């Protein structure tokens, strides 16, 4: 075994002992991610597809999605900061990005559904208003 191979293995062992190359590089903020994940899963259970049927429900859904998106972004910012202090920065950043991608579509689906309902209700209200104006003109 050459000396350079031995030194590389020794260096890797030191890094592993120091915790710099752990497979879960964002472990410092994993509790924060778990909390956000639970909230996102609760949001998904509370607002399944096509369950937003009134403006009041849409407003509540939008408030929750905005809050959760901010929490997820705060977690991601903290995870990025944590990754920049690690040995394998790019791998850590990739893991954090993939973890965020797991929850972002759920939040966006609920938000888009709520916004679509609100647009539909606004169109219906405008149609009713126009119909009433046309009746008055006759």
At 90-125, the pLDDT tens digits run: 999 999 999 999 999 999 999 999 999 999 999 999
Q: Which helix (H) or strand (E) holds 52?
A: none
DSSP letters for 56-77: HHHHHHHHHHHHHHHHHHHHHH
Count other C-beta atoms under 10 Å from residue 110's C-beta. Answer: 25
Q: For residue 29, what pLDDT is reported?
A: 65
Question: Taking residues 68-83, what's their average pLDDT?
Answer: 95
Q: What share of the chain is helix, strand, coil (3-state, %, to 5)?
A: 85, 0, 15
* Closest by CA position to 46, among listed 114, 104, 100: 114
Q: Please give the model's pTM, rounded to 2 decimal places.
A: 0.72
Q: For residue 136, what pLDDT is reported?
A: 86
């Amino acid at each position: 075994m050459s000396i350079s191979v031995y030194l590389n293995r020794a260096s890797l062992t030191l890094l592993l002992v120091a915790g710099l190359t752990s497979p879960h590089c964002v472990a410092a903020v994993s509790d924060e991610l778990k909390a956000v994940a639970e909230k996102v899963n609760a949001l998904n259970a509370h607002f399944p597809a096509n369950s937003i049927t009134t403006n009041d429900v849409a407003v509540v859904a939008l408030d929750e999605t905005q809050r959760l998106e901010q929490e997820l972004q705060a977690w991601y910012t903290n995870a990025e900061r944590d990754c920049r202090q690690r040995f394998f920065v790019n791998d850590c950043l990739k893991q954090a990005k993939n973890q965020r991608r797991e929850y972002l579509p759920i939040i966006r689906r609920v938000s888009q559904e709520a916004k679509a309902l609100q647009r539909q209700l606004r169109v219906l209200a405008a149609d009713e208003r126009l119909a009433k104006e046309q009746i008055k003109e006759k």
